[in-house]
Amino acid sequence: MNPIDAPAAGPNAAATAFQRLAAEDWAWRLREFPRLATAAGVHDHDDRLERMDAASREARSRHAAEMLAALAALDVAALGETDRINHAVLLHQLQIQRDEAELGGELMPIDADQSFYAYLGELWRDQPLDTAEAVQRHLGRLAAIPEYFDDHVELLREALRRGVMPPAVVLRGREAALVPVAQAARAEDTVFHRALAGPGGPLQRHPQLAAQAARVIEEQVQPAYRKLLAFLRDEYLPRGRSDLGACTLPQGEAFYAARLRGYTTLPLDARQVHEKGLAEVERIGTELRRLQRECGHGGTLAEFLAGLRADPENYPRSGDELLAQASWIAKRVDGQLPRFFGRLPRQPFGIEPVPDEIAPHYTSGRYVPAPVDGTQPALYWVNTHRLESRALYALPALTLHEAVPGHHLQFALTAEDTALAPYRRWDGTLSAHTEGWALYAEFLGTEMDIYRSAVEHVGRASYEMWRACRLVVDTGLHAFGWRREQAQAYLRERTALSEHEIVNEIDRYIGWPGQAVSYKMGEIRIRALRRRLEQEQGPAFSLRAFHDRLLALGPMPLPALEQAFPSSAPPPPAPATTGG
């Protein structure tokens, strides 16, 4: 059935039409994106990777256009609350898909934070490998890597022809993640084989597949890595553009405006985001100066932050010490969760270092969701590369954000909620909500008594300042002509981030336009929503109930979130009238 076809009119016609459209779109996504299907527990496509050739990309653009037209034809006012929220989410997802295709975003799959090849070594985590058939499907997926890379080379050559290139500064060293696999002397020396052959691994349980696994890696995966490595070194990476701002790209102003809409879910332009950032920077700066006085420092704020940054006592002496501290903080948070949440996930999480292959260019930490089958835990990755840049005073805020009650609590509860529409349980487009929640979780740590010293409170406030600075810096770089050094200085003078983090972060914003603004914009709305409910409900306000409802609703655009908590305040009195 063509998605534009409408059902016969009736009392539930709008709901019926919307639910049918959503179901058709989800079935299409499962066929089109095999890794999404695997994540959602559908294993019909576990031996495939998504295609990125021109024909596949064109087909996706047509599908998005048809779906958007069909959604626009619906009577949204006739939908119930759940369908209205689902409609807002699906509309947002499809608009991003359309904008990325039309404005060139999909032609830049390599940036300072991630790339289309960086996470392939973690494919084994995504699917169950408990049977010989499952392992064979996984080997089929590895065998699809050459076609996947060829598709991306075609895409990157199109980007070269059209001049849609990331800045040169964020492409430096981007090939490094390919080198260990490309240069390995044999299959057993690659991350792909180690994941299968380790103690208790799939090849120990199914040794009859060992020869096939080695053959796939040596004859298909490694040659593909070598071929892509040569292309990147010889043709692509040397041609990064000299300009930094997204607005200098072809269709750049429209591209960046769409990125801001997509990442904030709000109708804001670059100037509005920039001004909001300046106001937040001023507010948080006042708090940091108060904390500076509590620490007994009488100089300027920039001098105080530089002193924290330079003090070797503020850094771990080993990766094990950093991981142990993160684990201890996470367990302290666990002990506080029942006071603040009535509903907690069943899914556990582990704490591991960021994989060596990607650690040099990676952020300080990241959350990795668990596969739906429950055979692997979720992970809180902590970056143990360059320990002199991993300040312990920032670790409580980082742990609250990436683990609990931040990303793990939200994503695990969402994945476990089978009542949510599947395209919402595995959504990756609503970072204003998800990152806003995780930044709110850092603030919640103050009420949980997680920050145990003045310097840890400085670390939290510095982290909040960092996210406020992003509003200023991201728009500065991409809309107002800021230089890289200017953006670095802005962070250096206002946050306690290490120098390595400052350089990595600014390069991340240069290469990933718009994403960095989502955190603070979402947190502002969530905290404002809480304040409104506290004022309206007074003593009847329950923080646990607020958190439980917010998480149970699932990620959604911020306007939909605010509508899901309607005002309970009495309407203002009507203005007095005079007789005549």
Angle at alpha carbon of residue 564, lines to 563 and 569, rounded to 5°: 70
Supply the pLDDT for residue 428: 85
User: Digits of tens for pLDDT over the chain (580 positions)?
Assistant: 444 444 444 458 999 999 999 999 999 999 999 999 999 999 999 999 999 999 999 999 999 999 999 999 999 999 999 999 999 999 999 999 999 999 999 999 998 888 999 999 999 998 889 999 999 999 999 999 999 999 999 999 999 999 999 999 999 999 999 999 999 999 999 999 999 998 889 999 999 999 999 999 999 999 999 999 999 999 999 999 999 999 999 999 999 999 999 999 999 999 999 999 999 999 999 999 999 999 999 899 999 999 999 999 999 999 999 999 999 999 999 999 999 999 999 999 999 999 988 898 889 999 999 988 888 899 999 999 999 999 999 999 999 999 999 999 999 999 999 999 999 999 889 999 999 999 999 999 999 999 999 999 999 999 999 999 999 999 999 999 999 999 999 999 999 999 999 999 999 999 999 999 999 999 999 999 999 999 999 999 999 999 999 999 999 999 999 999 998 765 555 444 443 3
What DSSP line would sit under 331-356, residue for residue? Answer: HHHHHHHHHH-S---S--EEEEEPPT
| Residue 4 main-chain phi, psi, to 5 deg | -80, -20
- Which residue is associated with the tokens 């336009």? 513
What residue type is 168 in one-letter code? A
CA distance between the termini of the chain: 63
d(CA 552, CA 546) in angstroms, rounded, equals 10
What residue type is 130 in one-letter code? D
Pairing of strands 378-382, 365-368: antiparallel
The domain spans of the chain are 254-525
The SS3 of residue 449 is coil
- Joined together, the tokens standing for residue 279 give 């106001």
d(CA 462, CA 481) in angstroms, rounded, equals 25
Supply the pLDDT for residue 573: 54
d(CA 90, CA 72) in angstroms, rounded, equals 12
Q: Where are the alpha helices (DSSP H) in 406-483?
A: 407-416, 422-425, 431-447, 454-479
Supply the pLDDT for residue 511: 96
Cis check for the bond before 571: say yes or no (omega within 30 of 0).
Answer: no
Q: At what angle do helices 454-479 and 431-447 cross, to 10 degrees?
A: 160
The arrangement of strands across the sheet holding 349-353 comes to 349-353, 378-382, 365-368
3-state helix, strand, coil in the chain (%, to 5): 65, 5, 30
> Residue 366: beta bridge partners?
381
51-80 pLDDT tens trace = 999 999 999 999 999 999 999 999 999 999
pTM to 2 decimal places = 0.94
Supply the pLDDT for residue 571: 53
**Residue of 57, 27, 227 whose CA lies nearest to 147:** 227
d(CA 205, CA 2) in angstroms, rounded, equals 46
Whole-number Cα distances in Å, 302 to 6, 64, 504? 61, 48, 20
CA dihedral 212, 215, 221, 224 (to 10 degrees): -140
Q: State which H helix or E strand residue 56 sits in.
A: helix 54-72
Supply the pLDDT for residue 204: 94
What DSSP line would sit under 152-186, residue for residue? Answer: HHHHHHHHHHHT---BHHHHTTGGGGGHHHHH-SS
d(CA 265, CA 521) in angstroms, rounded, equals 9
- Joined together, the tokens standing for residue 462 give 């510095």
Contact 473, 452 (CB under 8 A): no
